[in-house]
Structure formats: C-alpha cells, structure tokens
Amino acid sequence: MNYARWFSRVVWLGIAVNVLFFVIPACFFPVELLSFLQMQIPVPIIWVRTAGMLLFIISAFYVPGAIDPWRYRLSAWLSVFPSRAFGASFFIVSVLWFGQDLGFLSIALVDLFFGVVEGVLLMLVVRGESNEPQRREGREGKGYESF
C-alpha cells in the first residue's frame, strides 16, 4: 500500500473540507453559517470573515506536503502537528472548559478527524521509508508522480 499517496489524498480532502464548509461560508455567508451552527453572531461580523481568511491561509500551507510529503517533509508534519492537533485541542477546550458555543465543536471534530488520519498515514510513510532506503533515493526531486 502506498501510504504517501493516501496521505496526499487525505490532505487534499481536508483542504477541500476547510474551504467548502468553513472558508467560503465564513467569508461570504457568515451570518448564515453562524445561524446554522447555532452560534452567537458577533458585532462587527468582520471577525468571522477574518477567521475564514486565516483558515484559507493555513490550508494553503498544507499544499506542499500534500504534493510531496518526502520533499516537503516539514510542511507535511506541520499540517498535522501543530495545525490540526492544536486546532482540535483549542476548540474542544474552549467548548468543554470555557463554555463557548457548541458550534465550535464542528471545527474541532474536523481537525481531530483529519489530524488523526493524516498523522497515522504520515507515520506509516516515514516507517515505510526507513524500511526501504533504496526507493527513497529514486524519489528525490520527482514529486507526486513518483508515488
């Protein structure tokens, strides 16, 4: 099984989920998004749009690791830890201990799911790489198509 290819697919799916379900609604339909999640609507609403744009920027940083987790190893690891891990932890703690709206759990669960799946796949990529050093040499600089 080619874990690097699956890691890449899951990262791309996570980017798509971020953009489709959080970035676009937060930037263009913030009131509707917050109403759907049964959350308080802040005044001014620009803070919701700002959060959406920041999530877009964070998601863009996942791209190099999704393209080639061997070549962009740091980017691949940062997409899991701290990004997904801290995102999930922050929102879970915010809801359970600090009484924030339950709607924030949607963000936490998405980050938790993708963080766990990506983390497991990335560990399998690294473990497979250490078992097959000769294949690693043949991959250098070839990008995604070498998976």
Q: Is residue 144 part of a domain?
A: no
Tell me which residue of 70, 67, 65, 71 sits closest to 130, measured CA to CA.
70
Q: What is the pLDDT of residues 131-145, one digit of tens each?
A: 765 554 555 555 544
Return the pLDDT at 133.
Answer: 55
Return the pLDDT at 11. Answer: 98
Q: Count of domains in the chain? A: 1
Residue type, 113: F
Amino acid letter, residue 6? W
pLDDT attached to residue 132:
64
pLDDT tens sequence across 110-121 = 999 999 999 999
**Shortest CA distance to 48 belongs to which of 32, 64, 61?**
32
Q: Which domain holds residue 122?
A: 3-133
